[in-house]
Structure 1
Amino acid sequence: MKQTNGMSDAAILGMGTALPKHSVAQSDIAELIASTLQNRSDLARFARRVFRSCGVETRYTCESNYLDPLEACRYLPSHDESAVPTTEERMDKYKREALPLGLTAAEKALKDADMAPDRITHLITVSCTGQYQPGLDVMLIRHLGLSPRVNRLPLIFQGCAAGLKAIQMARDVVQGAPGSQVLVVCVELCTLHFQPVKEREALFAASFFGDGASSCVIGPPESHHQHYLKLGSGYSVLLPDSTEDMTWEVGNTGFDLFLSPRIPKLLGAHLEEELRVLLEGDKLPELWAIHPGGRGIVDSVQEVMRLSDEQTQYSREILRTAGNLSSVTIMFVLNAMRQDMKAQDQTFTEGVAMAFGPGLTAELMRFNYVKAYSSSVKEQDHVLL
C-alpha cells in the first residue's frame, strides 16, 4: 500500500447509480402544477415558464401517484387539499422505497470496485429526505452481507452538499486508518416532499428535484485498479450573508424547502476566491464536477470560472435527464465523467468537484482521474497535496 506523507492514498474505486422505475416528463409535471393553480392564472403561466427554462426534461419518482390523472394526485391536488399526504405517510413511503434503491446502487459499486462485502470497514449513509430507526445503515448491512462490526456513520439532513461531504469523510478515514475500505450510499426521494404551490418561490424547488440513489467504494488504490478517481484535498465553507437563502424544515405535510433566487449570484460572488484557496496557485483543472442544483447554478459557475460548454456538459446532462437528486447527484456527475474519460482512453486528468447545500455551504474537493495504477501516477501525486 502506497503512502503519501505518512497517510494512505484514497480513491473512488467503484461507483453505482440507481433510479426509480417511474419516469415523468417535465412538461407533464408543469401541467400538473398549473392545473392546481386554476384561480391563479398569473402563477400558472409563471410555473410553465420556470419549468421550461430550468434545464430539466425528465425526472424519476418512487411515487406512482404522479402518473395518475391530474385530479387524482394527492401531492399536488387541484381542489381539496385535505387528502395531501402527512409527513408520517411520506416517511412510510420512504421506508419502503429507500432500501431497494440504495441496495441497487451499493451492489453496483461493490461489483465495479471488485470489492467483497466483508472487506468493507466503514459505511457512510446519506439522506435528507427521510428518517427512521433502525435506519438505512442497519438495513444495508443486513442485505449486503456487511460485517455487523462495520463502523456506521449516518449523515442525515445535510442537503445537496452531503454527497461530496461523505466522499471527503471517507477519504479522511482511509488516509487516517490504513486498511480501511469505505462504502458510501446516498438515497434521496425528493418527490415525496412536493407541496401544493401557493407562491412563486415554491416553484423553484418544485421545478427540478427528482429521486435516485448513488454509491461508491473508497479505499487505497492497488496495482490491479483501473479507471479510478484519486481523491485530493478539499474542505467545506460557509458563504457569508446567506443563512436564509436555502432552508429545509420538517412540516406537517412533508419537508418544506425554500430556495432563494439569489443563490446563483451568491455563488458567483464568492466561489472564485474559494477555488483559489483550494487550488493554491495551481492552474485550473480540465474536469469540473459541478453539482447541478439548477441551471442557474451551473451557469453561474461556468461564467465566473470561464469554463467551456464541454466542461459543464456532465452536470447539464444529468440535470436534463434526471433532475437534481440532492446529495445523490454529485456521484452521478463523477460517474459520467469517469466513464467518458475511460471512453476517451485518457491516462491522467485533473479535476475539481463542488456541491452546495444549506448554510449556504460550498463543499469543494480536488481529484484526478487515473487510468491505471503505476509509478508515473505516484510521481504526479503532488498536485493533490
Structure 2
Amino acid sequence: MAITNSNGTNGAQPGLWITGLGHQYPAYLWRPESIDEVAARFYDIEQVGIKKLLQINRATGIDQRPSVMDPNSSPILHRPEMPTITDLNAIWHKAGVDLSAQACRKALKEWGGALSDITHIVACTTTCYGNPGVDLLVAERLGLGPDVERVLLAGVGCAGGMAIMRVAAEVALAATARQRPARILAFACEVATTNVRQELADAAARTSPEDISIAAALFSDGAAAFVLCNDAGKQNTPPLFQLMDWNHATIPNTMQETTWAPGPTGYLSVLTRNVATATVAAIPPMFAKMLPFIRDNAAAGLPHAATAADLDWALHPGGKAIINKVQELMGLTEAQLSATKQVYKTRGNSSSPTVLIVLDMLRKAKGGKDDVVAVGFGPGLTIEMAFLRRCHSVDDDDSD
C-alpha cells in the first residue's frame, strides 16, 4: 500500500522494530544537600551567584540524582584544585564506558541474538570528546566485531536519545533498500555530574542572579540503549515497539538558548530562561504534522490515534517547567506523563539517554496505551519526535 509519511516520502511502509531496550544508572545518589556541601567547602554561600544556584537546587523537584562520583569522598569534588578536561575525560573513559556497556548488555539480552549478528552501532554523547570515539570504546568492551558499521553523533545534547533513534531508523531503511538485514545497537550515555566544580565556579563569578546556569542543579549521569531491526533483520524474539514515524526540526533563532562548551576546568553550560517556552511551543506544530500520517494509514495496520489524549507520552524531562507546560498545552493527564515525572523526580535529567529511560519505564507500566509519542529537545534548539506502537507488555524485573 502506498503511503505518505510526515516527511512527505511516498512508498510501502517498511517494518522497523525495537527488539531490546535497557538503561543503567551509576551507584551513587546525590541529594540536594550534596551540592550545598560541595559549595560550602569552596565558596561563600551568601555570594549572590552561589546563593541563587543553591536556591534553584532546592526548588527543582528532583529528590536525588545518580552520579559516578561518591558525594562524600570523590577527589574531583573535594580536592582544592579544579579538575581539568583531561580529568573529566578520564572518568568518562572508565565510568561512562562501563555505564554504556551495561545498558547495551541489557538491550542485547532482551533482543536475544548473537553479537556477531549486530550490523551497526549508532551512539551519542555530549560529555566526552576525543578520538577514537566512545562508540568504538564501547564496541570493544562488548566484543563486537571489526566489521560493525559505526555512527557517532556529536552536538545533539539532550535530544541525543531521539536523534540516535532517527538515525538508526534511516540506517535501517537504507539497509532495506539494499535488501540487507539491519540489527542496530544504539546507545546514549552522559556523565555530567563531574562538571559540578566548573558550574559552581561559574556561579561564584556571577554578579546577577539572572545569569545563573541551572545545570549543576539539574543533570545526572546515566546510559540507555536499544536494538532496532528492519524486517530482514528481525529474528524470533517478539519486538517491543514498532517505530512508525519520526521527525526533526531546528527552532529558528534559538541557537544561543542552550550551549555546552569546553574550558580549561570543565564545560560551561548555558540554559536560558527561554528554553522551556521555545521547546514547548514547538511540540504542537510537529505533533499536528505527524498525526495525520498515523490517522490516514490506519487501514495499513498503523495505530489509529485521534488526539494527544490517545497516546502515552515519553517526554524528555528537561525541567519542571517544561513538563508542566507540555501537560497543560497538550491537555495530558497525570497518567500519560507518569513515567516522565517519575524519572525526573527520582533520577533527574541525564541529558541524551533520559527520554529512552522514560520509554523503558513506560513500556513496563501496566495498563498503558497502545500508541506512544516520544519527544526530545536539544541544543539548536532542536525538537525530535517519534510515534511508536507497543507490541507486547514486559514485566519489570530489572533494577538500576
Tell me the TM-score range normalised by the shorter chain.
0.7 to 0.9
Deviation per CA, 1:290-316: give whole Å up to 9, x if none.
Answer: 001111111121111111111111111
Is contact 1:9–1:174 with CA below 8 Å preserved after alignment?
no
Deviation per CA, 1:21-65: give whole Å up to 9, x if none.
Answer: 22211232234335544263544543333122212111111123x
Matched, 1:144 2:142: yes
Residue 216 of structure 2 is matched in structure 1 by 206
Residue 126 of structure 2 is matched in structure 1 by 128
Amino acid corresponding to residue 187 of structure 2 in structure 1: V
Residue 271 of structure 1 is matched in structure 2 by 283
1:367 Cα deviation from its structure 2 partner: 1.0
Matched, 1:324 2:349: yes
Matched, 1:283 2:307: yes
Secondary structure in structure 1 of the residue aligned to 2:318: coil
Amino acid corresponding to residue 362 of structure 1 in structure 2: I
Residue 190 of structure 1 is matched in structure 2 by 192
Amino acid corresponding to residue 381 of structure 2 in structure 1: L
Task: Using the TM superposition, name which of 287-296 and 128-137 deviates more.
Answer: 128-137
1:209 Cα deviation from its structure 2 partner: 0.3
Matched, 1:351 2:372: yes
TM-score, normalised via structure 1 length: 0.86
TM-score, normalised via structure 2 length: 0.83
Is contact 1:352–1:366 with CA below 8 Å preserved after alignment?
yes
CA distance in 2, matches of 1:35, 1:302: 39
Over aligned residue pairs, what C-alpha RMSD do you find? 2.4
Is contact 1:22–1:61 with CA below 8 Å preserved after alignment?
yes
Residue 362 of structure 1 is matched in structure 2 by 383
| 1:237-276 alignment, distance < 5 Å | 237-276=249-288
Task: Using the TM superposition, name which of 16-25 and 219-228 deviates more.
Answer: 219-228
CA distance in 2, matches of 1:189, 1:29: 16
Residue 375 of structure 1 is matched in structure 2 by none
Secondary structure in structure 2 of the residue aligned to 1:244: coil
Structure 2 CA distance for partners of 1:268 and 1:99, relative to 1, 3 Å: closer
CA distance in 2, matches of 1:39, 1:116: 54
1:157 Cα deviation from its structure 2 partner: 2.9
Matched, 1:101 2:99: yes
1:169 Cα deviation from its structure 2 partner: 1.0
Structure 2 CA distance for partners of 1:322 and 1:130, relative to 1, 3 Å: same
Task: Using the TM superposition, name which of 41-50 and 269-278 deviates more.
Answer: 41-50
Identity of paired residues, percent?
26
| 1:176-187 alignment, distance < 5 Å | 176-178=174-176, 179-187=181-189
Secondary structure in structure 1 of the residue aligned to 2:256: coil
Q: Which runs of 5+ in 1 are unaligned?
A: 373-385
The alignment covers a number of residue pairs equal to 358
1:227 Cα deviation from its structure 2 partner: 5.7
Structure 2 CA distance for partners of 1:45 and 1:145, relative to 1, 3 Å: closer
Q: Which runs of 5+ in 2 are unaligned?
A: 4-9, 296-305, 394-400
Is contact 1:7–1:176 with CA below 8 Å preserved after alignment?
no
CA distance in 2, matches of 1:180, 1:189: 29
CA distance in 1, matches of 2:358, 2:315: 8
Deviation per CA, 1:176-224: give whole Å up to 9, x if none.
Answer: 3131010001111011222122234444111110111111000136584
CA distance in 1, matches of 2:356, 2:45: 41
Deviation per CA, 1:254-298: give whole Å up to 9, x if none.
Answer: 111100111111223332122211223742232111001111111
Secondary structure in structure 1 of the residue aligned to 2:317: coil
Is contact 1:292–1:319 with CA below 8 Å preserved after alignment?
yes
| 1:1-385 alignment, distance < 5 Å | 5-6=11-12, 8-33=14-39, 36-38=42-44, 40-64=46-70, 66-68=71-73, 74-75=76-77, 83-178=81-176, 179-194=181-196, 195=198, 196=201, 197-198=203-204, 199=206, 200=209, 201-220=211-230, 222=234, 224-226=236-238, 228-280=240-292, 282-284=306-308, 285-340=310-365, 343-344=366-367, 349-371=370-392
Amino acid corresponding to residue 307 of structure 2 in structure 1: K
